[in-house]
Amino acid sequence: MKRIIYSLYTDNVLEHSSVPDYKRNQFVKFRDQIIKSHKSYAKICNADYKLFTTSVTDYDLIQFEKIYLLEKLVKEYDEVVYFDFDIVPQTTKSIFESFDLNSFCAYGIIKKPTSDQMNSRLKNDSWHKMDMYSKTCAKNAMLLLDDINGNDEMINTGVIAANKNAIQELKFSERYKYCHDKFEQAQIDNLYPEEINKSWIHNNEVYISYMIERFNIPYTNIGIQWNFILDRTCPNPSDAAYILHHVNKEFEISFNA
């Protein structure tokens, strides 16, 4: 059984709301420690580790590239795990042994704003293109064009685990154009207020979540403990979390800097 954990990194990304100067500098400062943590965890899992670099500079396109690498790696490996470069494992428990990787394994998030939050955002026109609820709306608008009532779940692709069968069944590259065209149609033909739908962008999480529901792809929600997201709404880690996802890039929490 050949296994690999991989990540993708570049210090040359065009201006994007997800990579302000602070976050860029944090990656530079903690790069070596992040790599060390990934390699140590790969050793625990009896897996290879590889950090890919990319010449792509557009943030959103980089997010698609990490998915294409899944397809490339399963040509050589039986099981593959992807970590965003802001992931820091804090467990000796193997993710490979914890799930049936015949299904696409990732953390599915439900983030539905309260009615007060919804009204406030609509009133202030403050929907962000990376907002998980907005992404869910985009996915469900695509599904409605197929006469499918989508669920309220949006997959976060910060941690992905799958084997060769699961990746081949997803057929991401093969279905990309179909999803792209469906997204373009959904932007025009949807039931959501303009304040929401104008924030929609081509996004890997939207496409994967859509594919899984549209084509009934076997899928396992790995749960929050395997992708514990640290951001401004949840800045503090939990000892119960196996993997920390430093969306806020405050790596000092993990590395005691």
In order of their start, the domains of the chain are: 3-109+153-170+205-255 (3.90.550.10)
If you average pLDDT over residues 3-26, what whole number do you get?
92
Residue 124 confidence (pLDDT): 83
| Amino acid residing at 213 | E
| pLDDT tens-digit map of 95-132 | 999 999 999 999 999 988 888 888 888 888 878 888 99
C-alpha–C-alpha distance, residues 12 and 152, integer Å: 34
Q: Over 90: is that where the pLDDT of 256 sits?
A: no
Residue 16 confidence (pLDDT): 85
User: Is-above-0.85 flag for pTM?
Assistant: yes
Q: Over 90: is that where the pLDDT of 205 sits?
A: yes
CB 4, CB 83: distance < 8 Å: no
If you average pLDDT over residues 186-199, what whole number do you get?
95
Q: Over 80: is that where the pLDDT of 257 sits?
A: no
Q: Where are the alpha helices (DSSP H) in 74-201?
A: 95-98, 115-124, 132-144, 164-170, 172-188, 194-197
Q: Supply the mean pLDDT for the chain.
A: 95
